[in-house]
């Protein structure tokens, strides 16, 4: 049997990778951490860690307000590259969010940490694949400006895993499920069929990531004797002020664990 001293200190190592600034290195180290945990096993300490409010990130892309982002045009020169860059930036943030979910929150069941390690590994692979595709088009991550909306929500939910599970995977990442089919169609029209194939894989795996957020949101609601539907809808009204609008990818959301009552509430607002 492997001794604890020989296994990976998962939360500490996740914290260390979270601080890495180089995007490619962060993806590599995230995937390496997941591989070592599979091979050697890991142990969990539930001591609170001094997790930084801001993860390591490269100097570029320049972060601007969403309204300051240039309009992406569907053309073969830069339009589809800027779209791929935007998705690549989302995946970079998603690596940080998964690592932060491991390092920041204590006293969750072991499966919670296993789930978010899987998410971190898959998000890192998504980033690597999209980054390689950008390079094949003559661009690189950092070449276009981006916004920081995902991480801003991470800051707002840093004190409570229930809020994090509700508002990041089940709102912001679930929006990715809604908009990806349209992005795939734009890329198909631009002739970038390689990107379409990449997004097809990402969409299926992101359904699983949102499902993980749903699982742990429901778990925390049960622990606190809260009704999941009432809690979720109240959080949406409080934090998004009715700004979540369709169209919704209902089939994908159902696969990700949204209940019929939640989908009815979303579509009838």
What would the mean pLDDT of 81-106 be, rounded to a whole number? 96
Separation of alpha carbons 108 and 158, rounded Å:
15
108: which residues sit within 8 A by CB, 6+ positions away?
161, 216
Predicted confidence at residue 67, as pLDDT, reads: 75
Separation of alpha carbons 60 and 70, rounded Å:
16
Least confident of 40-49, 73-82, 106-115, 229-238: 73-82
DSSP per-residue letters across the chain: ---GGGSEEHHHHHHHHHT---HHHHHHHHHHHHHHHHHH-EE---S-----SS----S-SPB--GGGSPPP--STTTHHHHHHHHHHHHHHHHHHHHHHHHHH--S--HHHHHHHHHHHHHHHHHHHHHHHHHHHTT--TTSS-B--HHHHHHHHTTT-HHHHHHHIIIIIIHHHHHHHHHHHHHHHHHT-HHHHHHHHHHHHHHHHHHHHHHHHHHHHHHHTT--HHHHHHHHHHHHHTT-------HHHHHHTT--HHHHHHHHT-
Q: What is the mean pLDDT of the chain?
A: 92
Domains of the chain, first to last: 4-43+60-267 (1.20.1260)
pTM for the structure as a whole: 0.94
Percent of the chain with pLDDT strictly greater than 70: 94
- pLDDT tens digit sequence for 176-210: 999 999 999 989 988 889 999 999 999 999 999 99
Predicted confidence at residue 1, as pLDDT, reads: 38
């Amino acid at each position: 049997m492997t001794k604890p001293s020989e296994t990976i200190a998962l939360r500490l190592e996740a914290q260390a990778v979270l601080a890495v600034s180089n995007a490619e290195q962060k993806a590599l180290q995230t995937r390496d951490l997941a591989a070592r945990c599979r091979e050697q096993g890991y142990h969990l300490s539930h001591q609170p860690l001094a997790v930084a409010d801001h993860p390591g990130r490269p100097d570029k892309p320049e972060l601007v307000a969403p309204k300051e982002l240039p309009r992406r045009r569907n053309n073969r020169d830069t339009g589809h590259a800027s779209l791929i860059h935007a998705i690549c930036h989302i995946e970079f943030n998603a690596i940080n969010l998964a690592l932060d979910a491991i390092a920041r929150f204590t006293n969750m069941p072991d499966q919670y940490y296993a789930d978010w390690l899987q998410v971190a590994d898959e998000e890192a692979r998504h980033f690597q694949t999209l980054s390689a595709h950008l390079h094949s088009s003559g661009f690189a991550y950092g070449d276009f400006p981006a916004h920081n909306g995902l991480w801003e929500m991470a800051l707002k939910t840093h004190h409570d895993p229930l809020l994090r599970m509700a508002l990041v995977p089940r709102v912001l990442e679930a929006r990715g499920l809604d908009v990806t089919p349209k992005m795939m169609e734009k890329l198909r029209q631009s002739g970038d069929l390689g990107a379409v194939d990449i997004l097809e894989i990402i969409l299926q795996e992101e359904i699983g990531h949102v499902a993980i957020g749903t699982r742990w949101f429901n778990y925390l609601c049960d622990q606190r004797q809260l009704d999941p539907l009432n809690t979720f809808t109240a959080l949406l009204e409080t934090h998004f002020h009715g700004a979540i609008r369709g169209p919704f990818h209902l089939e994908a959301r159902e696969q990700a664990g949204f209940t019929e009552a939640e989908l009815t509430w979303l579509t009838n607002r």
